[in-house]
């Protein structure tokens, strides 16, 4: 059975991370580590909301790969969201260390689009319960 209350709370928190991302376009102000963390957080919370809406147990993990795998195993189409797994490293490692200057910069516009697509999907699932 869907846990609508929990799902809606998680989805609202994911939307807050998404709105934060919208204001972080300037990499001279917001470091990639900060931006990436909010991408990861938005994706994690949205995926957990999706699981709660589907009545699945929500794993206690920060692993986007694990969350997407559980959704996929339950029959959900998650292929478009696998690209967000690259932000997994921001959940823990880059919270406490900096990214090498040699690392490629994050394509912020693409990351925001990816989160927006995931949120739209989860909001569509949520509307099934209205």
- Rounded Cα gap, residues 99 and 96, in angstroms: 10
pLDDT in tens, 48-65: 999 999 999 999 999 999
Q: Where do the structural domains in the chain lie, given as residue ranges?
A: 4-127
- Arithmetic mean of pLDDT, 11-35: 95
**CB–CB of 58/6 below 8 Å?**
yes
The reported pLDDT for the residue numbered 121 is 98
- Arithmetic mean of pLDDT, 14-37: 95
| DSSP secondary structure letters along 33-97 | HHHHHHHHHHHHHHHHHHHHHTT----S---HHHHHHHHHHTT---GGGGGGGGGGGGTTGGGSS
- Into which CATH architecture does domain 4-127 fall? Up-down Bundle (1.20)
Angle 19-25-27 (CA atoms, 0-180°, nearest 5)? 135
- Averaged pLDDT score across all residues of the chain: 92
The reported pLDDT for the residue numbered 105 is 85
Nearest to 58 by CA among 93, 130, 10, 17: 10
């Amino acid at each position: 059975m869907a846990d609508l209350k929990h799902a809606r709370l998680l989805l609202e928190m994911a939307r807050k991370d998404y709105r934060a991302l919208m204001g972080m376009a300037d990499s001279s102000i917001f470091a990639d580590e900060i931006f990436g963390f909010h991408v990861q957080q938005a994706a994690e919370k949205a995926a957990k909301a999706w699981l709660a809406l589907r009545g699945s147990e929500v794993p206690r993990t920060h692993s986007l790969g694990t969350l997407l795998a559980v959704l996929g195993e339950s029959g959900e189409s998650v292929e478009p969201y696998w690209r967000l797994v690259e932000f997994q490293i921001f959940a823990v490692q880059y919270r406490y260390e900096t990214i090498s200057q040699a690392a490629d910069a994050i394509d912020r516009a693409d990351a925001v689009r990816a989160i927006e697509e995931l949120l739209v999907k989860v909001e569509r699932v949520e509307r099934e319960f209205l």
